[in-house]
């Protein structure tokens, strides 16, 4: 059964449309997109995906800092692999999001849902690279809104995330996405 209908998939925004409308983090997204490079092995692996005509449905929101970092990487991966990618706003598509909750409970974004050319589910990835999740884990949960300790804790959280992203961008993210896709394809065959 398809993740979404072809008609609904077609209503998603292209990367260019999504970026043009970005109310937040637009320049960061543009800079990351323009700076993404691939290793020779990554180029080879992405080229091998081209004949498959894969598709990817991206759930994001403009305010999300994680999406601002990994969404542009996904856009470049999709281009290089010949995947049709469409961006959807999570909060307007909860029926889709609720099928791909992180840990079964969280509407964490970004969420990249990889599909066959016929929109059949392959795998999904989100909301952060594994190494970033591991770096952030000791700092969670953050103090609740209104707690006087929250501002300092949130600032520390952002610093740890930025440092962890610095270590994995972009090649570690590309490798992780390729691992998800290729593992799913091996199980599909």
pTM: 0.95
Q: Would you give the distance in Å from CA 30 to the centre of its chain?
A: 15
- Phi and psi angles of residue 2, each rounded to the nearest 5 degrees, phi first: -65, 150
Phi, psi for residue 82 in degrees, rounded to 5? 70, 25
CATH of domain 6-188: 3.40.30.10
In order along its 189 residues, the chain shows pLDDT tens digits of: 899 999 999 999 999 999 999 999 999 999 999 999 999 999 999 999 999 999 999 999 999 999 999 999 999 999 999 999 999 999 999 999 999 999 999 999 999 999 999 999 999 999 999 999 999 999 999 999 999 999 999 999 999 999 999 999 999 999 999 999 999 999 986
Measure Cα distances from 108 to 32, 38, 144 in Å.
21, 27, 17
How does DSSP classify residue 87? E
Query: What span, in angstroms and rounded, lies between the C-alpha atoms of 88 and 13?
Result: 7
């Amino acid at each position: 059964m398809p993740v979404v209908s072809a008609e609904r998939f077609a209503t998603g925004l292209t990367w260019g449309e999504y970026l043009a409308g970005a109310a937040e983090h637009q320049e960061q997204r543009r800079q990351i997109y323009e700076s993404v490079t691939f290793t020779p092995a990554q180029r080879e692996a992405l080229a091998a995906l081209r004949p498959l005509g894969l598709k990817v449905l991206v759930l994001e929101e403009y305010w999300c800092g994680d999406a601002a970092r990994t969404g542009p990487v996904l856009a470049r991966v999709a281009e290089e692999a010949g995947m049709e990618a469409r961006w959807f706003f999570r909060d307007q598509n909860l029926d889709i999001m609720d099928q791909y909750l992180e840990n079964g409970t969280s509407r964490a974004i970004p969420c990249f849902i990889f599909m066959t050319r016929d929109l059949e589910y392959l795998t999904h990835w989100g909301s952060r690279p594994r190494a970033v999740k591991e770096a952030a884990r000791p700092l969670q949960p953050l103090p609740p809104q209104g707690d006087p300790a929250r501002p300092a804790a949130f600032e520390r959280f952002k610093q740890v995330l930025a440092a962890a992203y610095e270590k994995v961008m972009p090649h570690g993210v590309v490798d992780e996405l390729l691992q998800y896709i290729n593992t799913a394809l091996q199980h599909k065959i």
